[in-house]
Structure 1
Amino acid sequence: MKIITPATETDFDKYYRLRYDVLRAPWQQPRGSEIAPDDATATHALMLNEADDPIGVCRLHLPTPAEAQIRFMAIHPQYQGQGLGKKILTYVEEKAREQGAQYITLQAREQAVPFYQRAGYRVVAKTHLLFGEIQHYQMRKDLIK
């Protein structure tokens, strides 16, 4: 297992395919819905297995110099529950620190809230329903104590 910053077209094809397959396809969302308008200015993390197949993705963006925002975090279903989510989360948190962020925010799906809480995030507010059915919660973690 390794985590890279996608750089080639092949890397980004793998990255976006996993983002779509895990976060959009199960809710019959159209291809392209996995791509955000500000992806070009974000930091991307792609986790690959030994065969270089995509098994995890995460995106980090700094909307302000102090705030980092995590979006599109996903682990392939066959690899969930093996601690890989924690590894990719730690990776992007370090990237946020390198970019000078003081805290990280994210919108967690309800079933992911306990995962983020174990990683030191706290619930700030109950927010929106994605696709009319997936409850989300705004969460935050301070990077500077």
Structure 2
Amino acid sequence: MKTYFSNEQWAQTYGLYLRNIVFVQEMGVSPSVEFDHLDNYDHPYLLMMDNGLPVGAVRYLQKDSETVHPDSLCVLEEYRNRSIGFRLMLMIEQKALENGCVFSVIRSHTRTIPFYHQLGYSVASEEYIEDGNLYVEMQKSLIPSLV
């Protein structure tokens, strides 16, 4: 498995491809909701590839100079339970640290809360419905002494 961090067209295409499979086809999210104004070359993807096949992705969004917002983490179904999502999140957090971020905030489906708890995230909001799914905001200090 190889990883790539890029905002080039090929990386955007693979990121969108994976989001279409996981969020639109599997979860039933409307394409008009899933694909948004942030789908441009300003926001790179961290991709995991298996022999040239994109199998996992997360979009790198930076909210401000101190806060990263990893977005749209997705892994192909046949590659789940291999720690790919976990590794992608740790790598995106490392990129954020390199860029001066000290906090990470995410939007999580309620069913993925245990996954993000394992990564050190805490629930930071009440549950809310968006695109027909139940979500919460979660947060994490990327520097443990800032907890």
Q: Give TM-score, length-normalised by structure 1.
A: 0.88
Tell whether the 8 Å contact from 1:43 to 1:60 is kept in structure 2 after alignment.
yes
Superposition CA RMSD, Å? 1.7
Query: Hey, what does 2:87 align to over in structure 1?
Result: 87
- Structure 2 distance, partners of 1:8, 1:138, is 29
How far has the Cα of 1:129 moved from its partner? 1.4
The amino acid across from 1:94 in the alignment is Q
Question: How do residues 1-145 of structure 1 correspond to structure 2 at under 5 angstroms?
Answer: 1-26=1-26, 27=28, 29-30=30-31, 33-39=33-39, 40-50=41-51, 52-132=52-132, 134-144=133-143, 145=145
- Structure 2 distance, partners of 1:135, 1:16, is 22
Count of aligned pairs: 142
Tell whether the 8 Å contact from 1:6 to 1:15 is kept in structure 2 after alignment.
no
Cα displacement string for residues 57-90 of structure 1 (whole angstroms, at most 9, x for unaligned residues): 1012111111111110001100111111111011
Tell whether the 8 Å contact from 1:67 to 1:101 is kept in structure 2 after alignment.
yes
Cα displacement string for residues 78-126 of structure 1 (whole angstroms, at most 9, x for unaligned residues): 0111111111011100111011011000000111110000011111112
Structure 2, unaligned stretches of length 5 or more? none
Q: Give TM-score, length-normalised by structure 2.
A: 0.87
Structure 1, unaligned stretches of length 5 or more? none
| Identity between Structure 1 and Structure 2 (%) | 22
How far has the Cα of 1:8 moved from its partner? 4.3
